[in-house]
Structure 1
Amino acid sequence: MIISPSSRLPQLSTPVLINAGSSPAPLTLIDTEVSRHDVETPQDKGERALARLYAQGLKAASSVGQDPRKVSVTDIPPSSSFGQLRARLGDMLKSPAFKAWAQEKQLDLSQGVTLDASRGTITAKRAGSAFSFSTETRNQTVDVHSFSGWPLLQNVAKALAGSGNSIEFKTATTARAADIAQFYGHTLPFDPSLSPSEQDASITDYIAGWERKGTLISDTASHPSQADLERHASKLGDQNNRGAVVAVIPKLAADAASSIAQDLAAAARETPTLTEDEYLEASNQATRQRMQEALDTPIEIDPTSSYARDHDLKPGVAVTLREYLVGHGLLVPKTPSELAAIAPSLASPPPLSPEHGNMGGALSWPTLLSNKDQRTLSRVIDDALKNEPQDNLLEHLTRDLNLDEKTLKDDPGRIIDDILKSSNAQAIGRAAEQAIGEIASPEPINDWVLAALYVSLDKQSVFTDPSFSTRTHIAGFDLNSVSGRSASYIRKALAHHLIQTGLATPRTVDLAVFILLSRKAPELLVKDIPEALVKGSHAWVTFTTAVARIEAQAPGSTRLMTYEQIMLRHELAPVTLADLMVEALAQTDGLKDWGRNNGLLGRNAEDKYSETKMNDVRFQFSKQVSELNKASNYFAMEAPDLHKWALAEIKKQNPHLSEEQIKEKSIDTKDAGFLEFPGPYSLLDIFLNTRDHLKDIDFNDYTSRNESIDLTTITFKPFSRAELKSRFENSLDLYFNRIEAAAQAQTKYLISTLPIEDREIIEHGKISVGKEVSVNTNNSGATNKATTSGSLVVRSEFKDRDGNESTHTYEINMTSNTIKKRDDWNDIDIAPLPDEFRAGIGSTYLEPVAPEGDYPENILQASSLYTVNDTPNSYFSDKTGYIADAMVKNLGIQNFATELRGQTTFDTESPFWTKAELFVRGLIPGYNAINNFIDGKWREGLVDLSFDALGFLLSGVGGAAKVANTGVQVGTTLAQGAKKLARGAIGALNPIDPVGLGLAGVQTGLEALDRHSRTGDKNGSRPVVKYDVVKTFRDVDSATIGKANVQGEVEDVAATQKNGKWYALNPVSKQPYGLPLKDFVPST
């Protein structure tokens, strides 16, 4: 069966057989009445028994004037449907996974809980402390979405809540009459204004209305079937299995890693002369052996789980971890790190789709609505609007609605709901159904209306030649035209385009943007995206890949998430091959955009590039990310500390001395001129500052004021001081060289993130480079010159394609991590400073900066705009490299260090290298704010800030960006940020392994992906993934395997019959979808 995703991979769904990332199907409701059965079942008996207990409780309460809603019914028959669901809920709340979650949230489940299924909250007593003497415990309400089993828990809670939203639960056999009434769709009669006799009469009448049937089940209300109850028991068993696997994996992975290390150490001892190849082979062999042992670990299977049922396992029978992983479609790990990555992925709650998913309707089916049907849908829209030639569908359907600005901003989905309920929308949906066909869908009319809304806004894509790609086009708006721009800018630019082209009005444009982006570019709807994150940057590739992975599992979910939530979830490694492929395909799209933005790829109408070109893009991307990653580490590195090294060396040579004794200034010298600063001195002073480092120190020349420091017991080894000094000088030179390399990388990165038009101005214009110098001269002629630290000026004299000449000036500021236009400087020449300045005035000058080194003669000259690709490769261009070198020259780090070195050679209290490090830290954006708000933990914050400066944008996750504005203490979060976001920060590439595509239910390799990309999503030329139909649907009773023509090719399909027609089954929900299969032939 072919699964074709929509334009931004939202429907490239993973067949998560383990149900780790999918929501359980809602309860199937059937009309049931006990009297319909010829033979009374145990459930029938339970329903009658519950009705009697319920009636008795109400009558007893009525006789004493008690509020009937507060009546407790005990001994609820376990065979009744209400009793069975209560028991199921009790099992869930007692499951190890939920108990562990509740303990983490400090919830005391023993006192009962209140579950709100609609809000996703649980209210319970706060768990008391063993050391607390307070007798009071108070309720607390906690969001339960973070519990991995929430979808299943919510489904059962919703079923129990019936006509309400929340339920109370303490035990399965006791419940309030109000909860029973909700479940069966009853309304308890209670009016506090009635007299006791009147209230009693109303209760009596209420009971009489259903008591003659002997059951609470009404003729009109729906009721869960026995199959539903059994399915939920099975899903709870699956959840218990996952919990057992998640619990055992961390130790298995740690033990395997430790054993591998021990094996290698033993191999090295046995054969000290191991070659590199021999060591690698030993490592591979040890890894294979230890991973085999880990994967052979037995896992006890819950007998009620679907796995136990499908494999006919008896209670108490265990399977190996490998068998469990393979049986659930999970990748079998080959290394301890791969094994360890499985646990958090399985333990994390799945993302949940909002109502209407990604707003694509019929355009978001697993197999895309054909281009022919989309054009038919467009004609249906035209026909519906034929009497309103100046109108469009969105305007037509919202004319009578109040488009509240706050709702449009906070919850546009509510307005979509109002649209779908309107008579005009329903008419459009019915017309589409009549013209194209009846579809299998829970809400077929809504599916057609949502598809019609999208098609009406993006007709240009529908009527584009099918061989051409519109992946980067939305309603005629080219996303590649806004490279170097933030998400907020792109949204505004798209809105402006829609208004200019008449596709929307100022009144409807925000809703139009929401509809288009939900399906085509959901990353632009994510909340709290840092403004520094721009399209076409390396961080954008990682971000859009993360969004695509989540959208594939839960279409529409990312618009409800923040940037922080997106990036943290991206840290969960793919554990199925399908998820791995989603990541790889999304990365490929991101790399195409990055390659276009960086001048490595030209325009291509089909959005298809050769493997050679894409490999070059991957290489260049990896090269840039690697360079930026190194630079961020350089910024965050600690400067070599001679005092610390010397202290350790003295301690090593004299272990009897304490650190305090080594640093204590209690030693005098007999030779007053021996050191160049007055005593008393410390041992550290003497070790570092005696003139002749090659000469042994004679402690007979010194006296100690502290009896505990016996100079006769202290020795400094010959040459140790000279060796330490030499090592320090080399390390210090390396430190400053690396900081300069980091400054170069940051400068290149800032230029590369400019919008394309600005990068063309710099790359193809005649440039000059300088620095701002502020000169103030008082009336007596004294002059003060000041330059802005970390700032560089770039001037470009540019001639565009039409021959128009213009001058542009940019300021690159490392400290603020910005590059911006300075039109106010266009009239100031970049020229040497004058010899004299006028007294009594202040002026701004731009002084030339020329880097040291050899450069081509024409490095600063203008160049042709007519190149092979339409965008410059700014990061790696020679001109950008020259500017980056000029920034290093302007910073003058080495000169500053040399000056300090000469001033403070013998200062052990405030040595020159600490002042140099402080100077370097001051160049990093945000450091001063972090240093002010994080008490003594600046280095931890510096890690995240260093990543931010090079575009990795961890502070949006770790919290550093909020520090300066809010003063929040985020030291711990910051310290963990860079470590926590290893995958997201570095943007690891994930090319697809064609050999591995035969595994985990995926039938074919890259050739099939390439072949189908031309017949897949015409609105995005998206590739497709073929799932093994037999494996995917082997446990679905309603599935029939056969063949059908899908997108012009005969494919294996799983289908089911409905109203005499065959419909394809969704590989994730296992439910029928889409239009009928016209030529389905069941296999024999």
Structure 2
Amino acid sequence: MTSVSTHITAQPQPFALSHLPLARHKREAPAPTESAGDARTEGDRALAAEYSTALLLAANRESNINIRPIPADSSFGRWWGQLRAAFRSPDVVQWMRDKGINAESITLKPESGTITFKLKPSVDPEQKLHTVGQDDRRWGAISGPILQAARVINAGHEDTAFTPPASDLSESAPWFMVGRFYQERQDLTGPAMRRRAEELDRDQGFSRLDPSSAADLIESRSADALQKQEATVGDVLNRYEAINELRHLAKSVDIRNPEQIPGELKRRTLSLSSPSTYQPISASQSNRVSLVQFLEDHGWHIPTHHEQLENLATALSTPAPKMPAHGNLGGALAWPVPLDQGDLQQLKADIGTGKIGDIDLGPSKNVLDYLLSGRTISAAEQSNPRRLIDTWITSPKGKALGEAIQTAFETRGVKGSASDWLLTALNSESASVSGDDVDHQAPGQIEGYRLVSAENSGKSPSTVVKELEDHLVAKGKASSPEKATIQAHLLLASRAPEFLIKDIPEGVVVGTHSWVSLATAVARIEAKAPGNTASMSYADVMLEASVAPISDDERTVEYVAQTDAIKHWSVANGMDYPSTDASMTTAREAYSAQIRELREAAQTHIGQMPTTRGIALEQLKVALPHVDPELFEEKTITLQPSNRHFPGLTRYWTCISMVEDSKAHRTQRIIGGKRAVVS
């Protein structure tokens, strides 16, 4: 590896985060000062000199050329420093520590969001290569600031893997990454590289980007964009400051004296990160604020006892779930204000004509059939419907159809993305199928099939999903069992995602209190990130649900979710669907009564479990009341002649052992004195 050392007289400035003005709420970043602009210009000039040297090395066929160190005030250096800061964020550091990742082995593909790494030799002596993407729950939740900075650095180029500054030893950057950032040509011949090096030395800097053709690129790397990214990482730092204080307080406070907690929350202070969206006006000159004020300003509940301290720390240290691409697949039906019935009927009518804009659906009965174009669905695709649906959305046919629907509705004054319109069409009944819209059906029904009903009470979720698929085929809503599998997944993703959870235990069935708990937990997560739970297991869902709400908004979401789940529980348990406050009160009381009964049954003392030996002793006392019970424990019985069930003179038996034997009928005859010899 060849490194380009600094050969200019000016030394690189240390990386410094920009400071935002103090304020109570989020504020727009101020315009960069002239001195900041001058520093950036000087930094870019210094980096251009380093890149010039790298060009000469490349012209001489040197390989693995790195520029070291990167001038921190240069445009590239600031974003490179932001990427380093994102990797040093506490949540990322904790993830790397938990997995045992060797930071120096990391490579990053920013466009696809994948990270490749090796574990430390002490963890994995074989040094296998591991790759995780955005489908990894924890990496997907914490990787946002990393990928945002990396994509700016990658400057819109194809998804090229590069080594980020993930470790404390990372002081260099690949020369081609610097060139790409400044839009330098990457296809130069050796002589052309030498000429370009001369131009850089002569001009003392890179060419300026043309605002007319590179406006988006200029905006993406602007000082304002950088400050927003710095503030994102600063928010994480502030949150972990609070987490550490809460955990320390939980360890130090006397559980028996919770009255200490309010005073400690006021006394303890946090050192705030300057680049942050949280800027309290009352912060001290040293930019410190009390722990209780930090919690209050963020709308979190103030803990009053030990359990709440631990719960709040756990909640704040749990990365927020990330919404997958295309959310819960509901399209416009899942908008905050869903598509109204008139527009939905219009969409169905458009599909029924067989032509939308320039798109001719041909003989296809519905949008799903059109996208499949007659091909079959493989077993692998059936096992991962979400991936297949995502493929349709990004396919040429899917994009074209989505854009055609988008254009048609924009003329009607309804705006939405092409992908949302395609998903809306997929969720809608085809015009060849009569019936009311799904939103007009009874709660808990999908295409006329009721998921939670008295008939389905006690059924496993997989059984219910299979019955839904069969229903779709029987009613002509799906033209084959394979298509019904995809259609059912699509419909459930936005309307009853609890049925898509993986690895649900056998005992968690429709109509039970356990099902209410699962449905409530799923709804809580979906409220934060629609579509997130479709890739989760039962254990994952319930682990997140074990953390209690920490704000009024979260508590409201939980209450509404549980209320909805209890409504369906009441139907599964033979009651009418609650539609009034009075009927809802009745349902909730019935549910609470069942919970009490289960709790009381679980707490009932059964006593010592009877044993075979104890039962035998009681039977002997009844059969032989004149015999001292202690004799029942002595080996005083033998059998003449012996047989395969009871060896003869070579072995003696106790009365209890005879009764314990599985051949109870033979034992009873022997106890009765037949052919038994008592010594």
Q: State the TM bucket, normalised to the shorter chain.
A: 0.7 to 0.9
Determine which of 33, 42, 65 is the counterpart of 1:71: 65
Quote how far apart the aligned CAs of 1:596 are: 1.4
Contact map agreement 2:441 2:448 (CA 8 A) in 1: no
Rounded to whole Å, the distance in 2 between the matches of 1:549 and 1:154 is 27
User: Hey, what does 2:452 align to over in structure 1?
Assistant: 480
Contact map agreement 1:460 1:475 (CA 8 A) in 2: no
Quote how far apart the aligned CAs of 1:431 are: 4.4
**Residue 88 (str. 1) matches residue 82 (str. 2):** yes
Determine which of 899, 917, 928 is the counterpart of 2:616: 899
Rounded to whole Å, the distance in 2 between the matches of 1:412 and 1:209 is 52
Which secondary structure state, in structure 2, belongs to the residue aligned with residue 332 of structure 1? coil
Query: 1:214 and 1:119, CA in 2 relative to 1: closer, same or farther beyond 3 A?
Result: closer
**Residue 303 (str. 1) matches residue 298 (str. 2):** no
Rounded to whole Å, the distance in 2 between the matches of 1:115 and 1:533 is 40
Rounded to whole Å, the distance in 1 between the matches of 2:263 and 2:88 is 32
User: Hey, what does 1:561 align to over in structure 2?
Assistant: 536
1:608 is matched by which residue type in structure 2? S
Determine which of 56, 79, 92 is the counterpart of 1:59: 56
User: Hey, what does 1:780 align to over in structure 2?
Assistant: none
Alignment size in residue pairs = 570
Determine which of 333, 336, 348 is the counterpart of 2:306: 336
Contact map agreement 1:487 1:531 (CA 8 A) in 2: no
Query: 1:473 and 1:465, CA in 2 relative to 1: closer, same or farther beyond 3 A?
Result: closer
User: Hey, what does 1:43 align to over in structure 2?
Assistant: 40
Rounded to whole Å, the distance in 2 between the matches of 1:510 and 1:186 is 50
Rounded to whole Å, the distance in 1 between the matches of 2:369 and 2:227 is 48
**Residue 417 (str. 1) matches residue 413 (str. 2):** no
Rounded to whole Å, the distance in 2 between the matches of 1:185 and 1:401 is 43
Quote how far apart the aligned CAs of 1:82 are: 2.0
Contact map agreement 1:123 1:141 (CA 8 A) in 2: yes
Rounded to whole Å, the distance in 2 between the matches of 1:320 and 1:366 is 36
Contact map agreement 1:595 1:617 (CA 8 A) in 2: yes
Query: 1:427 and 1:227, CA in 2 relative to 1: closer, same or farther beyond 3 A?
Result: closer
Query: 1:898 and 1:414, CA in 2 relative to 1: closer, same or farther beyond 3 A?
Result: closer
Determine which of 616, 623, 627 is the counterpart of 2:597: 627
Determine which of 501, 504, 507 is the counterpart of 2:475: 501
User: Hey, what does 1:146 align to over in structure 2?
Assistant: 138
Q: How does 1:617-656 map to 2 (within 5 A)?
A: 617-632=587-602
Quote how far apart the aligned CAs of 1:121 are: 3.3
Structure 1 gap ranges (5+): 1-27, 29-36, 191-198, 261-286, 638-733, 740-892, 910-914, 919-1084
* Residues 222-259 of structure 1 deviation map (CA, whole Å, 9 limit, x = unaligned): 24222121011111111111111111213323444435
Quote how far apart the aligned CAs of 1:125 are: 6.0
Query: 1:570 and 1:233, CA in 2 relative to 1: closer, same or farther beyond 3 A?
Result: same
Quote how far apart the aligned CAs of 1:60 are: 1.6
Which secondary structure state, in structure 2, belongs to the residue aligned with residue 300 of structure 1? strand
User: Hey, what does 1:236 align to over in structure 2?
Assistant: 233
Rounded to whole Å, the distance in 2 between the matches of 1:527 and 1:492 is 15
Determine which of 417, 423, 427 is the counterpart of 1:450: 423
Q: How does 1:199-210 map to 2 (within 5 A)?
A: 200-201=190-191, 203=193
Rounded to whole Å, the distance in 2 between the matches of 1:596 and 1:364 is 25
Rounded to whole Å, the distance in 1 between the matches of 2:338 and 2:432 is 16
2:514 is matched by which residue type in structure 1? A
Q: How does 1:660-1059 map to 2 (within 5 A)?
A: 734-736=606-608, 897-900=614-617
Rounded to whole Å, the distance in 2 between the matches of 1:347 and 1:461 is 50
Quote how far apart the aligned CAs of 1:344 are: 0.8
Rounded to whole Å, the distance in 2 between the matches of 1:591 and 1:579 is 18
Query: 1:411 and 1:376, CA in 2 relative to 1: closer, same or farther beyond 3 A?
Result: closer
Which secondary structure state, in structure 1, belongs to the residue aligned with residue 162 of structure 2? strand
Which secondary structure state, in structure 2, belongs to the residue aligned with residue 146 of structure 1? helix
Contact map agreement 1:341 1:573 (CA 8 A) in 2: yes
Rounded to whole Å, the distance in 1 between the matches of 2:260 and 2:543 is 30
* Residues 893-927 of structure 1 deviation map (CA, whole Å, 9 limit, x = unaligned): 59984435566976999xxxxx9xx9xxxxxxxxx
Q: How does 1:8-47 map to 2 (within 5 A)?
A: 41-47=38-44
Quote how far apart the aligned CAs of 1:519 are: 0.9
Which secondary structure state, in structure 2, belongs to the residue aligned with residue 368 of structure 1? coil
Which secondary structure state, in structure 1, belongs to the residue aligned with residue 107 of structure 2? strand
Greater relative CO (CA pairs within 8 A, separation 6+): 1
**Residue 436 (str. 1) matches residue 412 (str. 2):** yes
Query: 1:93 and 1:415, CA in 2 relative to 1: closer, same or farther beyond 3 A?
Result: closer
Percent of pairs with identical residues: 25
User: Hey, what does 1:174 align to over in structure 2?
Assistant: 172
Rounded to whole Å, the distance in 2 between the matches of 1:315 and 1:151 is 31
Rounded to whole Å, the distance in 2 between the matches of 1:307 and 1:208 is 44
Contact map agreement 1:249 1:343 (CA 8 A) in 2: yes
Query: 1:420 and 1:113, CA in 2 relative to 1: closer, same or farther beyond 3 A?
Result: closer
User: Hey, what does 1:324 align to over in structure 2?
Assistant: 294
User: Hey, what does 2:15 align to over in structure 1?
Assistant: none
Which secondary structure state, in structure 2, belongs to the residue aligned with residue 76 of structure 1? coil
TM-score scaled by length of structure 2: 0.73
User: Hey, what does 2:579 align to over in structure 1?
Assistant: 608
1:214 is matched by which residue type in structure 2? F
Which secondary structure state, in structure 2, belongs to the residue aligned with residue 309 of structure 1? coil
* Residues 190-209 of structure 1 deviation map (CA, whole Å, 9 limit, x = unaligned): 9xxxxxxxx52464588799
Quote how far apart the aligned CAs of 1:547 are: 0.9
Which secondary structure state, in structure 2, belongs to the residue aligned with residue 367 of structure 1? coil
Quote how far apart the aligned CAs of 1:346 are: 0.8
1:200 is matched by which residue type in structure 2? G
User: Hey, what does 2:372 align to over in structure 1?
Assistant: 398
Structure with higher strand content = 1
Structure 2 gap ranges (5+): 1-28, 622-628, 635-656, 661-679
Quote how far apart the aligned CAs of 1:368 are: 2.1
Contact map agreement 2:332 2:339 (CA 8 A) in 1: yes
Rounded to whole Å, the distance in 2 between the matches of 1:40 and 1:317 is 26
2:249 is matched by which residue type in structure 1? L
Rounded to whole Å, the distance in 2 between the matches of 1:461 and 1:45 is 70
Rounded to whole Å, the distance in 2 between the matches of 1:374 and 1:142 is 42
Rounded to whole Å, the distance in 2 between the matches of 1:454 and 1:403 is 19
Which secondary structure state, in structure 1, belongs to the residue aligned with residue 489 of structure 2? helix
Rounded to whole Å, the distance in 1 between the matches of 2:527 and 2:431 is 22
Quote how far apart the aligned CAs of 1:624 are: 2.6
Quote how far apart the aligned CAs of 1:356 are: 0.6
User: Hey, what does 2:637 align to over in structure 1?
Assistant: none
1:597 is matched by which residue type in structure 2? A
Rounded to whole Å, the distance in 1 between the matches of 2:619 and 2:253 is 54
2:314 is matched by which residue type in structure 1? P
Query: 1:44 and 1:398, CA in 2 relative to 1: closer, same or farther beyond 3 A?
Result: farther
Contact map agreement 1:518 1:556 (CA 8 A) in 2: yes
1:452 is matched by which residue type in structure 2? A
1:154 is matched by which residue type in structure 2? L
**Residue 157 (str. 1) matches residue 150 (str. 2):** yes
Contact map agreement 1:474 1:516 (CA 8 A) in 2: yes
Rounded to whole Å, the distance in 2 between the matches of 1:897 and 1:631 is 26
User: Hey, what does 1:313 align to over in structure 2?
Assistant: 283
Which secondary structure state, in structure 2, belongs to the residue aligned with residue 453 of structure 1? helix
2:80 is matched by which residue type in structure 1? R
Determine which of 306, 330, 347 is the counterpart of 1:377: 347
Query: 1:372 and 1:72, CA in 2 relative to 1: closer, same or farther beyond 3 A?
Result: same
User: Hey, what does 1:426 align to over in structure 2?
Assistant: 402
1:248 is matched by which residue type in structure 2? E
Quote how far apart the aligned CAs of 1:92 are: 3.1
Determine which of 249, 252, 261 is the counterpart of 2:249: 252
* Residues 503-551 of structure 1 deviation map (CA, whole Å, 9 limit, x = unaligned): 2211532221222111111112222223442211111111111111111
* Residues 114-147 of structure 1 deviation map (CA, whole Å, 9 limit, x = unaligned): 3444354352561769xxxx9x995764758536
Query: 1:41 and 1:421, CA in 2 relative to 1: closer, same or farther beyond 3 A?
Result: farther
Rounded to whole Å, the distance in 2 between the matches of 1:489 and 1:206 is 68
Contact map agreement 1:161 1:182 (CA 8 A) in 2: yes
TM-score scaled by length of structure 1: 0.48
